[in-house]
Structures are given as C-alpha cells and as structure tokens.
Amino acid sequence: MTVERTYAMIKPDAVKRKLIGKIVDRIEAEGFTIVAMRKHCFSLKEAQGFYFVHRARPFYPELTEFMSSGPIVALVLERDNAIAHWRDTMGATNPANAAPNTLRKLHAASIGENCVHGSDAPDTAAQEMGFMFPGISLL
Ligand code: ADP
C-alpha cells in the first residue's frame, strides 16, 4: 500500500451549482485526507498555463475559457493509490460514458463542463500541486 497525493479541482460549473459541500463530503467518504484546499479564480492566462499540455487540442480555447469563467476549488488529496482512486471516483471524461455513482455521472452536464478534475499520473500530480500551491509546505 503506497500513500500517494493527487491534485483535484472542483470546476466552475460545480461551484456555481453549489456542489462544493457534496463533493468535499464524497472526497472524505472515499477515505482521502484533504492536505490543502483553496478557492481561486483563474485568469484566462492562468487557465491556459494550467492546461498547457492540451494546447494543441481543438477543445483548448473552450476549456480555458470555461475554467476562467468562475471560481474553482483546488485540493491536494492523500490516501493509498490516490491518483487512480480519485480518477475512479470522478468517472469518465464524458458523463454519458461515466459509471454509475461517479461524480461526473451524478453531477456533470457535458464532456466540457464535467465538474471535477484529477491528475492522471505522478508527474502531472506533482506539477499541478506546484502550480496551485507554490512554495507552500504541505504537511
Ligand atoms: P480528464 O479531465 O478526464 O483527464 P482530458 O485530460 O482528456 O480529460 O481533458 C481535460 C478536460 O478537457 C476535460 O476534463 C474536459 O473538461 C475538457 N475536454 C476534454 N475533451 C473535450 C471535448 N471533446 N470537448 C470539450 N471539452 C473537452
């Protein structure tokens, strides 16, 4: 069993629909410890920086405009197998394909506005935690 950390985000659609509490509740029910949490409004430039890896994808303009359209909640989560477990809890990118009881199946409206984000690998988790919590010692 390896204790691991991942970066998670509650996206603007879910914040607007007052789902922060429900999603945080689910995070704790899944056995994660919340190591860090902050609300933040991305500027368009910051959203473009965060999603730089997707810059060549056709949905990049739509994604970065959406992510800078309202506040998000950024979190660092810890538990065994955190990266895979959080991605399982989120469900497939497109809510139409998401498994029952996943956050995206329960709450997401579309493939773009899909309520939550989660890092997909240890290197992206480290990079995304550093982007949103720079210089902070995460105890
Ligand atoms: P995931 O968030 O499940 O890891 P990706 O890394 O493939 O998915 O994409 C990042 C984000 O970009 C998605 O969560 C979604 O908000 C957006 N996105 C992905 N594919 C599309 C698409 N075809 N149209 C619009 N937005 C998309």
Cβ of 36: how many Cβ atoms within 10 Å? 18
Give tens-digit pLDDT for 102-118: 999 999 999 999 999 99
Query: What are the tens digits of pLDDT across the range 1-33?
Result: 689 999 999 999 999 999 999 999 999 999 999
**For residue 116, with 0-12 CB atoms within 10 Å meaning exposed, 13-18 middle and 19 or more buried, which class applies?**
buried
pTM over 0.85: yes
Pocket of ligand 1 (CB under 6 A): 59, 62-63, 93, 111-112, 114, 117, 120
Q: Of the residues 7, 93, 94, which should be mutated to test ligand 1's pocket, given the most ligand atoms within 8 Å of the CB?
A: 93
**For the chain, what is the mean pLDDT?**
96
Protein residue closest via CA to atom 26 of ligand 1: 112
